[in-house]
Amino acid sequence: MQYIMQNENSNYHFIIDSIIRNRKSEVFSFFDHEEVDLPFNVYIYDSISDLVDGLKKRGFPDSPDYMCACFKDKDQSMNFFEPKDSTIDQEWSKEEYEKVIFHELIHGIQFLLFGTLPEWLSEGIAKYLDGTYSKGISWLLEHYIHAIPIPKQSEIENEFGKHSYDSYDYAYLMVHYLIDTLGKDGFIELLKNKDQIDICKQDLLAKSVDYYDKKYETSKSNTKDAIK
């Protein structure tokens, strides 16, 4: 990997490099793949605004102003900013940001092994592995999934992150369902076959919610039927 620093006097790349080297084995192990060298360029900017501006200058004009990190398939780059010791609005603490670095590492490795995946699938995998939903599916259903009407499948597929609800909740739920029903080996085989992904995604959100409602006997009193 090559590190490109906006601030050449910063040592923050050592922290990122340590997280990547210490945690990449977890990701390769999940995918049942031997470890390989990571060929990524890692860009580190001074602030979130510098990160967004830098991405736009490098040919990614649709980067939202709130973006705090990303992996870009197009140029195989990991992109971060350096959190400050004293956080300000819309920024992260250094401790919180370690989870972000791991999340983007997952994206990088899954791209290296399987190429570009649909956004809902890519984000669902990263959320499945990064520990965000440690409280479990039942808790997620009760506090978020059933708190609002279930969105259309097409919204999750084509408008990810563009609505007021948290698209990541649904991406995680669908990936969890696929792993539960296909088994991990079957899920990994699915990632290798883009045609099978297109077949499996049909009504996938509705199927996932229904599956876990039955498994956990979750109340549907506040949930409208999924719109397909």
Complete domains list, the chain, with CATH: 2-114 (3.40.30.160), 119-216 (no CATH)
Whether the model pTM is above 0.85: yes
pLDDT tens figures, 145-194 = 999 999 999 999 999 988 989 999 999 999 999 999 999 999 999 999 99
Of 85, 78, 162, 67, which Cα lies nearest the Cα of 120?
Answer: 162
Interhelix angle for 94-114 vs 167-191, to 10°?
40
SS3 string, 48-114, reads: HHHHHHHHHHCCCCCCCCCCCEEEECCCCEEEEECCCCCCCCCCCCHHHHHHHHHHHHHHHHHHHHH
Q: How confident is the model at residue 87 (pLDDT cuts 50, 70, 90)?
A: low
Could you tell me if 209 and 174 are in contact, meaning their C-beta atoms sit under 8 angstroms apart? no
Res 227 pLDDT > 90: no
Percent of the chain's residues with pLDDT above 90 = 85
Could you tell me if 165 and 121 are in contact, meaning their C-beta atoms sit under 8 angstroms apart? no
Please give the structure tokens belonging to residue 16: 């990122």
User: Mean pLDDT, the chain, as a whole number?
Assistant: 92
Count of beta carbons in the 10 Å neighbourhood of residue 25: 10
Res 90 pLDDT > 70: no
Taking CA 90 as the corner, what is the angle to CA 12 and CA 64, rounded to the nearest 5 degrees? 90
Taking CA 28 as the corner, what is the angle to CA 26 and CA 111, rounded to the nearest 5 degrees? 120
Sheet bearing 41-45, strands edge to edge? 2-5, 41-45, 77-81, 69-72
Q: How confident is the model at residue 66 (pLDDT cuts 50, 70, 90)?
A: confident
Res 225 pLDDT > 70: no
Beta-carbon contacts of residue 193 (< 8 Å; ≥ 6 apart) = none
191/34 Cα distance (integer angstroms): 17
